[in-house]
């Protein structure tokens, strides 16, 4: 594994000018890459299931937002024994949608002492085929304002309704990009951001708004978010002065942390999860 701490590592800067990083991967390129990455994939359970939470948790579906006049349900979970407000985490699903894999991952986060809200950006739908996932993803990308409204209300639900003591965000794949976008929506309000192999932003002026620490995980074999994309992202984060830590795994490709997919890579998934837990513990507790 190649692990780079952006705030300390000596990185090659493409240019000292902010505009040098403006040419990040486009939405069209990203969506095409996701289709290619997941072309033969399915979100089916494998023997490498998501581990159980470290303590008992209780979860249920809740209405956390109203977007376009329609109620939006997510999955809210917290430790069963916990009393009173907790640190909150917005959990953003990958391109398959809010399915059992994401709910189990939210359970696992709750087991670490958080109240986790797994949001739904797919209007109550979750995909079982790449074609459906592509359709749902493209619908969101064609109406980003609705997605941003959804995520703003998710933050408000945790902050105002649940009285979260601190708030973080995490997402994978499609959700990894939206985790970064959520951080940009709340640049001085969120306390921590985690993104797994999501669409990066390389505009320095945009990244300069971020006040929270960020950690990102990528696979060097990912043909969608390439090593070159990650290098440009690292350089832009450094120039922007963001407290960011980026990890790349040489034997991992896209979706390496998804235990229900065909791209699961146990070593990278385990290491990234351990780092995620430590990261949230440091900045949310």
- Whether 222 is a known active-site residue: answer yes
207: phi then psi, degrees, rounded to nearest 5: -65, -25
Q: Which residue in the list 107, 173, 191, 229 is annotated as catalytic? A: 173
**Measured CA angle at 131 (ends 126, 137), to 5 deg:** 55
- What DSSP letter does each residue of 236-281 carry, written as one string? HHHHHT--EEEEEETT--TTTT-TTSTT--HHHHHHHHHHHHHHHH
- Spatial distance between the Cα atoms of 205 and 209, rounded to a whole number of angstroms: 7
- Whether 163 is a known active-site residue: answer no
- Spatial distance between the Cα atoms of 272 and 218, rounded to a whole number of angstroms: 9
Q: Which residue in the list 107, 191, 254, 271 is annotated as catalytic? A: 254
194 bridge partner residues: 170, 215
CA distances from 277 to 32, 44, 197, 212, 273 (A): 32, 25, 17, 16, 6
User: Residue 148, class by beta-carbon neighbours within 10 Å (0-12 exposed, 13-18 middle, 19+ buried)?
Assistant: middle
- Whether 100 is a known active-site residue: answer no
How long is the chain? 285
Q: Which residue in the list 222, 229, 247, 271 is annotated as catalytic? A: 222
List active site positions: 173, 222, 254
């Amino acid at each position: 594994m190649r692990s780079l701490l952006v705030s300390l590592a000596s990185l090659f800067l493409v240019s000292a000018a902010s505009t040098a990083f403006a040419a990040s991967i486009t939405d069209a390129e990203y969506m095409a890459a996701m289709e290619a990455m997941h072309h033969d994939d399915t979100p089916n359970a494998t023997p490498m299931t998501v581990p159980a939470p470290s303590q008992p948790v209780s979860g249920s579906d809740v209405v956390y937002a109203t977007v376009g006049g329609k109620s939006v349900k997510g999955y809210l979970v917290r430790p069963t024994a916990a009393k009173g407000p907790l640190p909150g985490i917005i959990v953003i699903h990958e391109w398959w949608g809010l399915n059992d894999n994401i709910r189990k991952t939210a359970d696992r986060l709750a087991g670490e002492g958080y109240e986790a809200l797994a949001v739904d950006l797919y209007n109550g739908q979750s995909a079982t085929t790449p074609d459906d996932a592509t359709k749902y993803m493209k619908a969101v990308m064609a109406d980003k304002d609705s997605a941003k409204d959804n995520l703003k209300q998710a933050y408000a639900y945790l902050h105002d309704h649940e009285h979260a003591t601190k708030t973080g965000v995490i997402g994978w794949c499609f959700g990894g990009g939206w985790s970064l976008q959520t951080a940009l929506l709340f640049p001085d309000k969120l306390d921590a951001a985690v993104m797994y192999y999501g669409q990066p932003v390389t505009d320095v002026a945009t990244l300069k708004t971020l006040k929270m620490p960020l950690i990102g995980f990528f696979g060097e074999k990912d043909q969608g978010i390439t090593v070159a994309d990650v290098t440009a992202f690292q350089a832009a984060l450094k120039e922007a002065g963001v407290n960011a830590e980026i990890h790349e795994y040489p034997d991992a490709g896209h979706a390496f942390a998804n235990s229900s997919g065909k791209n699961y890579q146990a070593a990278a998934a385990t290491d990234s999860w351990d780092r995620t837990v430590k990261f949230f513990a440091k900045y949310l507790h």
